Amino acid sequence: IGAMAMANRRKTILPTTLTSDLRDRIECGDYKEAIEIAKGSDSFLGRVLSAAMAAAPRGASAMTKVMHQHAQELTTRRFRRVELLNVLGQISPMIGLFGTVYGMILAFQAIVASGGTADPVMLAGGIGTALTTTFWGLVVAIPALAGFAVLRNRIDELTVEATIQAEELLAIFDAPAPKPAPRRRSAVTASQPVEVLT
DSSP annotation of 57 = G
114/197: higher pLDDT:
114
Q: 142 falls in which pLDDT band (50, 70, 90)? A: very high
pLDDT of residue 63: 86
Give the tens place of pLDDT for each residue, 149-195: 999 999 999 999 999 988 888 887 665 544 544 555 544 444 454 44
Mean pLDDT taken over the chain:
82
Angle between helices 120-174 and 44-54 (to 10 degrees): 40
The identity of residue 154, as a single letter, is R
pLDDT of residue 62: 86
Residues of the chain with pLDDT > 70, as a percent, come to 86
Residue 65 has pLDDT above 80, yes or no: yes
Residue 86 has pLDDT above 90, yes or no: yes
Residue 123 has pLDDT above 50, yes or no: yes
Provide the strand spans (E) within 48-174.
Answer: none
The identity of residue 17, as a single letter, is T
Residue from 76, 80, 69 nearest 166 by CA: 69
What is the reported pTM?
Answer: 0.73
